[in-house]
Structure 1
Amino acid sequence: MRTAQKQKYADDKLVKRLHRKTGQAIGDFNMISAGDRIMVCLSGGKDSYAMLDILLALQQRAPVDFELVAVNLDQKQPGFPEQVLPTYLAGRGVPFEVIEQDTYSVVRRVIREGKTTCGLCSRLRRGALYRYAGEHGFTKIALGHHRDDIIETLFLNLFNGGRIKAMPPKLLSDDGRHVVIRPLAYCSEEDLRRYAELRDFPLIPCDLCGSQPNLQRQVIKEMLTEWKRRHPGRVENIFRAIGHVSPSQLADHELFDFRGLGAVGEQPSVAGEDWLRPPATQQRPDPDTTISVTSGAVSAPRTRGVIHGS
């Protein structure tokens, strides 16, 4: 009995923590406004299920009214259980739509055997979701990326792309037409895994990419897992650093005006790109100028036809 009480207490704390962190992220980044029609992208994985479940709970007590519609993209993977999500959503009374687009065949045709499929798959999936959102009047697109996804993306870009770049909790698409939000940005993957078990979501694994042995993201995930074990708090500090950037302490001259930086009263240099110019052709010395090699001194020019004497 005592063990059951302790477990219930831990479960209640987990639920409250995830609800609080999600609400905090929504507030910090102004993710949801009054009258929003939000497309909740539901893949069948633990994270998107948790996002929908938490948003539905927050919707009941939110300070503004907004609409939630669950949208699943059926990518025509062989053996995909088509009725799992509709059955679950209908049972919850959640409005939903299923988009059918055979991206699976495209990925299999384009990507050679042994190569990772995630890049192309995600681009095709994003294009389909963006197009659907635009056609059906959605004002926000909610994705289920969590804190660990954001940190992993930071290291993927750092190690493989030479860029300090992660996933922002709120993003404007390149064409300026869509606002993408990540309400789970402050939530850890471990908490979401426990939440999925607690809520007993009917999970659907991704057979297209989930089992690939050569995923760089999996390598990063293993590195972070080891850090969590050996250095408690390190991963939390990394995520905290993503939100506390000091541009003047980095080296991106497009992000910070290093060129115009100077001490008080100092006139900024106007040379600019002149430093990149090739050196000028060396000029021959004036024959009327005597150069002292040993002392480095330059004597005054000699004037022909004039005798200096006493």
Structure 2
Amino acid sequence: MTQKETPEITKLHKRLRKNVGNAVVDYNMIEENDVVMACISGGKDSFAMLDILLSLQKVAPIKFDVVAVNLDQKQPGFPEHILPEYFESLDIPYYIVDKDTYSVVKQKVPEGKTTCGLCSRLRRGTLYSFAEKIGATKIALGHHLDDIVETMFLNMFHGARLKAMPPKLRSDDGRNVVIRPLTYCREEDLITYAEYKQFPIIPCNLCGSQENLQRQNIKAMLVDWDAKTPGRVESIFKSIQNVSPSQLADRGLFDFINLPIDREAQKAEYEFAEATVSSSNIDESLFIDVTNI
């Protein structure tokens, strides 16, 4: 049972629904007759994503189906009954998919090293294959705005790449499309919403026990920035949406090699274009008068 809804929670719910709805429209995430496979890990974000998708499904101008899918990675002590009971209480279609990725990760990753990379790859392969098996046309993941910004800084600081998480992604083989409906949602809102809804959250013991993960360092940095300068994280996210390739340095993204001067093109209106020369040792008669060209 959830707590009694307060005016603040009502506003929060509307804001989250609006943010998800805007993201869906802006990136054409969900289309007519889509089958959306909502991947539910047991964390607050995926629970909130499912809750809001089901809410939007009732009022959307298009018809689409939502199927909840949990990948049981066979972590020791994982409470296998919680998610089936929760899905049954919602009366929605669901699958629990068993795949012992836990043993693979523990076998291949040395003690103390970060397991997230390998764990994510194994999950991705299983979910991509299962989406095809059940005829899902979209795979919905619960990453939010903070996750996207954190990932960008992780890639910059530790991979020397300007790369984040796109709101919508087609797999390399073109066989699946991943969507992130929470793209415009802040984590602090999702925390508050999860507390109100009393989702049966299941912690991830595989990676949650690892200390000093680089993502946690990035998260702490962003929390500090946001506290000192409210709105900074949103501004960083908006910069991802407003990229100027010619103002960066990627030679594959912009042709810096071939940039010829074209003085026959229409001249731009430069601000403060006129300048007065106070001293020179150059014979100006050698210059071509461009004012009459």
Q: TM-score, normalised by structure 2?
A: 0.87
Give how far 1:149 is off: 0.2
Whole-angstrom CA distance in 2 between matches of 1:225 and 1:132: 36
Q: Which of 72, 91, 96 is the aligned partner of 1:93?
A: 91
**Maintained 8 Å contact 1:139/1:179:** yes
**Maintained 8 Å contact 1:151/1:166:** yes
Match of 1:49 in 2: 47
Match of 1:67 in 2: 65
Q: Which of 156, 160, 163 is the aligned partner of 1:162?
A: 160
Say what the alpha-carbon RMSD is for the aligned residues: 1.6
Match of 2:122 in 1: 124
Counterpart of 1:233, as a letter, is G
Whole-angstrom CA distance in 2 between matches of 1:62 and 1:260: 48
Whole-angstrom CA distance in 2 between matches of 1:257 and 1:265: 19
The residue correspondences of 1:1-310 to structure 2 (distance < 5 A) are 8-265=6-263
Structure 1: which 5+ residue stretches go unaligned?
267-310
Whole-angstrom CA distance in 1 between matches of 2:118 and 2:6: 43
Whole-angstrom CA distance in 2 between matches of 1:52 and 1:263: 54
Counterpart of 2:203, as a letter, is P
Aligned residues: 263
**Maintained 8 Å contact 1:116/1:214:** no
Whole-angstrom CA distance in 1 between matches of 2:89 and 2:230: 40
Whole-angstrom CA distance in 1 between matches of 2:28 and 2:259: 33
Whole-angstrom CA distance in 1 between matches of 2:58 and 2:26: 20
- Which range moved further: 234-243 or 256-265? 256-265
Whole-angstrom CA distance in 1 between matches of 2:254 and 2:92: 47
Counterpart of 1:46, as a letter, is K
Give how far 1:250 is off: 0.6
Report the secondary structure of 1:88's partner residue: helix
Counterpart of 1:20, as a letter, is K
Whole-angstrom CA distance in 2 between matches of 1:118 and 1:80: 18
**Maintained 8 Å contact 1:74/1:98:** yes
Give how far 1:136 is off: 1.6
Report the secondary structure of 1:208's partner residue: helix
Whole-angstrom CA distance in 2 between matches of 1:51 and 1:251: 36
Q: Percent identity?
A: 62
Runs of 4+ in structure 1 deviating by more than 4 angstroms, as ranges, are: none
Report the secondary structure of 1:113's partner residue: coil
Of structures 1 and 2, the one with the larger relative CO (CA 8 A, separation 6+) is 2
**Maintained 8 Å contact 1:157/1:166:** yes
Give how far 1:230 is off: 1.2
Match of 2:272 in 1: none
Give how far 1:80 is off: 0.4
Whole-angstrom CA distance in 2 between matches of 1:36 and 1:204: 28
Whole-angstrom CA distance in 2 between matches of 1:83 and 1:69: 18
Counterpart of 2:117, as a letter, is G
Deviations along 1:216-274, one digit per CA (max 9) or x if unpaired, are: 100100101111111111111101111010111111121112222222258xxxxxxxx
Q: TM-score, normalised by structure 1?
A: 0.83
- Which range moved further: 157-166 or 249-258? 249-258
Structure 2: which 5+ residue stretches go unaligned?
265-293
Deviations along 1:71-97, one digit per CA (max 9) or x if unpaired, are: 000000010000100000001011000
